[in-house]
């Protein structure tokens, strides 16, 4: 007498069915599902899963894997220059910044209305940190995101003009839902660069968002861009639908420097600057 158990080795027809199923998964490029198939089939047997439950478990693994791959792809494309995050931004160290506003921006809702974000402040106050953190949030939320600097954008446009790829490059900068343009104002922009920047901003106007960081107040943009008319037109478009953050607190780099100096002073003389 033979007894049948569910854990019995597969017969020839079952084995070929299994091979066919793996073949289907491979043909559909469901790599994770193909990889996890044996384990899920074993679980189905061991736990007495229904066909529906087993299929759900198998495809959930594929969905998780696909989402992780897409996120990695978006983050790679975004070209973020540092691992900075919003969670890693110390709000207590940025006295000029409204925590509620940062939390609101972190939801990425501003992207749905093509709202721009302007981060203005002296060096070291966390402008790039916030821009990178918000760009990371956008990529995580599924938005196409790209990080560049004003100088790099200008150089790329200049090269594109020479090589006859102007239209292609403009389309590239129009594409992402969020474009970060870091460090406007650190280097004076030649007229041609200012006009490239203007074109990028114009074509995104009311369609997609820009996060722009600058160490120069808007009043001195005419100087930065070498042309007050271009500066005014650019500001019109940037500010029309925008959130402006002034980060004018003590520089974070300077704080670390002060802290290090204090530690040193305490170690050598036994005195420290009074706590503030």
- Residues forming the site for Mg ion (CB under 5 A): 127-128
Edge to edge, the sheet with strand 145-149 lists: 145-149, 178-184, 209-214, 116-120, 242-246
Closest CB to ligand ADP among 129 and 204? 129
Q: Report how far apart, in Å, the C-alpha atoms of 58 and of each of 28, 34, 143, 229 are.
A: 14, 9, 27, 60
212 with 118: CB under 8 angstroms? yes
**Nearest distance, CB of residue 81 and ligand ADP, angstroms:** 9
Which element (helix H / strand E) includes 179?
Answer: strand 178-184
Whose tokens are 């899963």? That residue is 49
44 vs 106, beta carbon nearer ligand ADP: 106
Q: Which of 94, 153, 235, 245 binds ligand ADP (CB under 6 A)?
A: 94
Residue with the shortest CB distance to ligand ADP: 126
Residue from 70, 240, 253, 257 binding ligand ADP (CB under 6 A): 253
| Residue 99 binds ligand ADP (CB under 6 A) | no
Count of Cβ atoms closer than 10 Å to residue 127 Cβ: 23
Between the CA of residue 98 and those of 101, 119, 149, what are the distances in Å?
A: 5, 13, 25
Q: What element of type H or E holds 259?
A: helix 252-269
The piece of 22-30, 49-57, 90-98, 259-267 that touches ligand ADP (CB under 6 A) is: 90-98
Q: Which is nearer to Mg ion, 184 or 235 (CB)?
A: 184
Residues between 126 and 165 that touch ligand ADP (CB under 6 A):
126-129
Site track 171-210 with ligand ADP (rule: CB under 6 A), x = hit: ----------------------------------------
């Amino acid at each position: 007498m033979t007894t049948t158990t569910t854990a019995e080795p597969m017969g020839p027809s079952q084995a070929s069915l299994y091979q066919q199923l793996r073949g289907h998964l491979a043909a559909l490029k469901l790599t994770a599902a193909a990889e996890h198939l044996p384990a899920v089939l074993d679980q189905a047997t061991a736990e007495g899963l229904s066909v529906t439950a087993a299929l759900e478990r198998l495809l959930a693994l594929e969905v998780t894997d696909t989402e992780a791959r897409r996120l990695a792809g978006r983050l790679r494309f975004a070209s973020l220059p540092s691992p900075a995050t919003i969670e890693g931004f110390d709000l207590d160290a940025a006295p000029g910044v409204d925590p509620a506003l940062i939390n609101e921006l972190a939801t990425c809702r501003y992207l749905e209305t093509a709202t721009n974000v302007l981060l203005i402040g002296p060096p070291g106050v966390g402008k790039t940190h916030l821009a990178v953190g918000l760009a990371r949030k956008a990529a995580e939320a599924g938005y196409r995101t790209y990080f560049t600097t004003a100088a790099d954008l200008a150089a790329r446009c200049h090269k594109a003009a020479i090589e006859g790829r102007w239209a292609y490059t403009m389309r590239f900068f129009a594409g992402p839902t969020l474009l970060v343009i870091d460090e406007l104002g650190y280097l004076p922009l030649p007229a041609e660069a200012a006009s490239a920047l203007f074109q990028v901003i114009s074509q995104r106007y009311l369609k997609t968002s820009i996060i722009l960081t600058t160490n120069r107040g808007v009043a001195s943009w005419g100087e930065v861009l070498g042309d007050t008319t271009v500066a005014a037109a650019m500001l019109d478009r940037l500010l029309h639908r925008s959130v402006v953050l002034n980060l004018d607190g003590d520089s974070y780099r300077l704080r670390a420097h002060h802290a290090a100096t204090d530690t040193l002073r305490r170690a050598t003389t036994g005195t420290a600057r009074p706590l503030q």
